[in-house]
């Protein structure tokens, strides 16, 4: 179907309305709210039964249009550059030695590595962008231990470790573990040594089915089924505190206000620490009231190629005043996935440049 044909179809108010409702369902599905997504999908299908087909063709046409515009932009940039180059060729005194990378070639590695360290402390994205600027910086960013040591100092100095438990288990201190397992191989340490992330929020989306019963006198042979959706949120702080929330509200409504400065209904400010002995790791999150002490344990896992992006449940317990411990069911619980939030990153205090 051509772009013109799709536009003609979308001019039909019925089809256009159905596609709009279907798109709402897609957004709900991305947020993990499957019950709402299914509701919108069904509503759209009732209006126009081929709505999904039209929606997919619309996406395809938008993608093709984006590619054409991208190619057009690249071609325009090339023609502009050629015109500039032709104009510069007529000018006298043009000196290629004034190009930025040529100037940097004159600087010693010590100075450039200080620049790299400063950029690393700003953000990981800036570090990657710097490495793409020229071969010299690419070499210093990825084939030198200084940026990896800077990352190591930034990340692991902020972790809150359970030193007492390490001592009770007869383990060495964290510093000694670093020496034993990685010595000064900081790049390998960053790949193998788990850590908690602070520049975002960990979100767990839980969906499960609850079966109901028919009303008295009903002749239906089918029992109603309800899809229950709720969310768990963790936001960790560098001072050993973590903001915890269990709610049915979607991330789009929660994340932007999810801070301990706001008195969010149903949230709890808990304490956290990380246990790591070189092989085993788990995060302990605890809180208590007058009657009970709650403790949750989760282990840090990778999510595909993303390092330490996931928190997987180990156990959740409740202890009363008589020291009786009860295990909470984790049957329906799902892992937490880290989602980076730019506004959180901006609020973190940048370490001083040394």
DSSP string, 305-337: TEEEEEEEEEEEEEE-TT--EEEPP-SS---EE
Specify the pLDDT at position 193.
93
Beta carbons within 8 Å of 217's beta carbon, 6+ residues apart:
none
- Whether pLDDT at 352 is above 50: no
Pairing of strands 293-303, 306-319: antiparallel
- Whether pLDDT at 119 is above 90: yes
Burial track 314-341 (b if 16+ CB lie within 10 A, e otherwise): eebeeeeeeeeeeeeeeeebbbbebeeb
Helix (H, G, I), strand (E, B) or coil at 148: helix
The number of residues in the chain equals 354
Task: Please name the residue that has the structure tokens 């400065």.
Answer: 261
CB atoms inside a 10 Å sphere around CB 274: 20
DSSP string, 136-159: HHHHHHHSSHHHHHHHHHHHHTT-
Mean pLDDT of 187-191: 92
- Whether pLDDT at 156 is above 70: yes
Q: Are 207 and 229 in contact (CB under 8 A)?
A: yes
Distance CA 28, CA 250 (A): 9
**Residue 311, token pair as written in the block:** 């928190």
Distance CA 10, CA 47 (A): 13
Q: Are 298 and 283 in contact (CB under 8 A)?
A: yes
Mean pLDDT of 248-265: 90
* pTM for the model: 0.71
H helix count then E strand count, the chain: 14, 9
Share of the chain above pLDDT 70, in %: 80
- Whether pLDDT at 39 is above 90: no
**Residue 24, token pair as written in the block:** 């709402």
Specify the pLDDT at position 258.
93
Closest CA to 272 of 334, 345, 328, 198: 198
Q: How confident is the model at residue 214 (pLDDT cuts 50, 70, 90)?
A: low
- Whether pLDDT at 92 is above 50: no
- Whether pLDDT at 129 is above 70: yes
């Amino acid at each position: 179907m051509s772009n013109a044909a799709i536009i003609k179809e979308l001019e039909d108010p019925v089809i256009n309305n159905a596609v709009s409702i279907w798109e709402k369902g897609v957004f709900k599905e991305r947020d993990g709210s499957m019950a709402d997504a299914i509701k919108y999908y069904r509503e759209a299908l009732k209006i126009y039964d081929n709505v999904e087909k039209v929606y997919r063709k619309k996406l395809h046409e938008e993608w093709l249009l984006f590619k054409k515009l991208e190619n057009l932009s690249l071609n325009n940039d090339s023609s502009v550059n050629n015109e500039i180059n032709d104009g510069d060729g007529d000018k006298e005194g043009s000196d290629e030695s004034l190009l930025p990378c040529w100037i940097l070639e004159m600087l010693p590695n010590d100075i450039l590595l200080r620049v790299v360290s400063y950029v690393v402390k700003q953000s990981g994205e800036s570090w990657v962008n710097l490495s793409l600027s020229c071969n010299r910086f690419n070499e210093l960013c990825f084939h030198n231990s200084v940026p990896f040591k800077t990352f190591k100092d930034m990340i692991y100095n902020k972790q809150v470790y359970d030193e007492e438990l390490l001592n009770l288990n007869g383990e060495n201190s964290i510093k000694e573990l670093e020496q034993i397992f990685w010595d000064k191989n900081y790049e390998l340490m960053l790949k193998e040594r788990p850590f908690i992330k602070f520049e975002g929020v960990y979100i767990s989306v839980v969906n499960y089915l609850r079966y109901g019963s028919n009303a008295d006198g009903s002749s239906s042979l089918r029992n109603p089924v309800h899809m229950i959706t709720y969310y768990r949120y963790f936001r960790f702080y560098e001072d050993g505190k973590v903001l915890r929330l269990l709610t049915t509200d979607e991330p789009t409504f929660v994340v932007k206000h999810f801070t301990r400065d706001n008195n969010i209904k149903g949230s709890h400010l808990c304490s956290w620490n990380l246990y790591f002995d070189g092989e085993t790791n788990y995060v302990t999150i605890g809180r208590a009231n007058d009657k009970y002490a709650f403790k949750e344990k989760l282990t840090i896992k990778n999510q595909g190629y993303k390092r330490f992006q996931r928190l997987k449940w180990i156990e959740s317990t409740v202890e009363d005043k008589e020291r009786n411990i009860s295990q909470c069911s984790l049957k329906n619980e799902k892992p937490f996935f880290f989602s980076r939030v730019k506004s959180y990153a901006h609020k973190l205090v940048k370490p001083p440049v040394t």
